[in-house]
Amino acid sequence: MIDDAIKAFLDKFKPPEIKVPDFSGLDWKQSTDRLRQSFHRASRSVEQDAPLMAELSTLAVDGAEGALRARLYTPMGAGIGPGPGIIFYHGGGFMLGDLDSHDMICRRLADGSRCRVLSVDYRLAPESRFPAAHADAEASWRWAIERAELIGMDPDRIAVAGDSAGGNLSAFIAQEMNRTDGPLPAFQLLLYPLVQFADIRAKKLPFQEGGFFISPNLFDYFRDGYVERQTDRMDPRVSPLFASDDDFKGLPPAHFVLCGWDPLKDEGKAYADKMARWGVPVTIREHPGMVHGFMNLTAVSVPARDAIKAAGEVVGRALGALS
């Protein structure tokens, strides 16, 4: 069963429906603006029990074609740097989300892990299409490694993390660094990641699966909004599940958080299995009553808050911030 608090929220808060079968004549700006407004209302909140940060700062990091906004979270107990850190990429189908929509996730992740968290605001579609977000993710990752001391992080103890589309960017970074002999993350935290951007309509979806944050129509909308050419849908950068076997050998350890009511759950398990087959240490935590994107609903769900903290503790132990 879906978590009662989450279900009550989803029943009350409905996003604009995407019903257009052919997006060729769609007004992308108008439709995306409406979705962004809904996502803004659903995911931004002020919570009385939000963890206090020792320091919170906004800075500019390198993107592929210019500076990107980023926010650095230093939790209580992180100590004087350099120490373990997390580079975080937000979800939203490559079209929604920003630093504020995922502020509470990053606060709770920093608090749970006792690690500094750098949240990166990459370019979004339809203004910037594939591979813009992936190019920004790689550029910002390399920036963080090269300037780790500046942000209080030990370059040998930096994890990459993200939810949904941000999980896609995180998996991409790990694979791309593996392909190019670049600086590998020490760990991957993949929160209900999007690991293939080809199709989910071929699956038989259980009743109510998906909810507010993802559905077959939204999947198609995000995919076509970000990936213009159909031939690019299988590109391993945007569909890391379909990467060659060599791209999985030597990947850093990973922890997956998956949801029981999520059309992307099976792909997440398949990705974890593929990593494990090549000897990559993998752990999975599934939340049976949760829907895709549930970590954005901490304002209405205590289990969502607990889930972020638990995921943070996994990363903290992996990086040596927690015993």
Q: What is the pTM of this model?
A: 0.94
Pairing assessment for the beta strands 67-75 and 116-121 based on DSSP bridges = antiparallel
Do residues 195 and 271 lie in contact, with contact meaning Cβ atoms separated by under 8 Å? yes
Selected residue with higher pLDDT from 204 and 121: 121
Do residues 67 and 104 lie in contact, with contact meaning Cβ atoms separated by under 8 Å? no
Is 181 in the active site?
A: no
Q: What is the pLDDT of residues 151-195, one digit of tens each?
A: 999 999 999 999 999 999 999 999 999 999 999 999 999 999 999
Q: What separation, in Å, do the N-terminal and C-terminal C-alpha atoms of the chain show?
A: 34
Per-residue model confidence (pLDDT) at position 205 = 57
Do residues 309 and 111 lie in contact, with contact meaning Cβ atoms separated by under 8 Å? yes
Is 262 in the active site?
A: yes
Whole-angstrom Cα distance, residue 42 to residue 39? 5
For residues 129-154, average pLDDT: 98
Do residues 148 and 154 lie in contact, with contact meaning Cβ atoms separated by under 8 Å? yes
| Cis status of the peptide bond prior to 281, with omega within 30 of 0 | no
Which of 2-11, 12-21, 43-52, 283-292 is predicted with the least confidence, judged by mean pLDDT? 12-21
Per-residue model confidence (pLDDT) at position 16 = 62
Q: Which of 164, 215, 239, 301 is catalytic?
A: 164
Q: Which of 43, 113, 292, 301 is catalytic?
A: 292
Q: What is the pLDDT of residues 200-238, one digit of tens each?
A: 876 655 544 544 577 788 899 999 999 999 999 999 999
Structure tokens at 169: 């960017």
Is 287 in the active site?
A: no
Do residues 305 and 108 lie in contact, with contact meaning Cβ atoms separated by under 8 Å? yes
Q: What domains lie within the chain, and their CATH numbers?
A: 4-319 (3.40.50.1820)
Residue 148 pLDDT greater than 90, yes or no: yes
Q: Which of 62, 136, 235, 262 is catalytic?
A: 262
Per-residue model confidence (pLDDT) at position 11 = 74
Per-residue model confidence (pLDDT) at position 19 = 60
Residue 255 pLDDT greater than 60, yes or no: yes
C-alpha distances (whole Å) from 88 to each of 98, 203, 279 are 11, 30, 25
Helix, strand or coil, per DSSP, at residue 148 = helix
Per-residue model confidence (pLDDT) at position 73 = 98
**Confidence label for 20 from pLDDT (cuts 50, 70 and 90):** low
**Confidence label for 244 from pLDDT (cuts 50, 70 and 90):** very high
The torsion angles phi and psi of 157, rounded to 5 degrees, stand at -135, 50
C-alpha count within 13 angstroms, C-beta hemisphere, residue 125: 22
Q: What is the pLDDT of residues 64-114, one digit of tens each?
A: 999 999 999 999 989 898 999 999 999 999 999 999 999 999 999 999 999
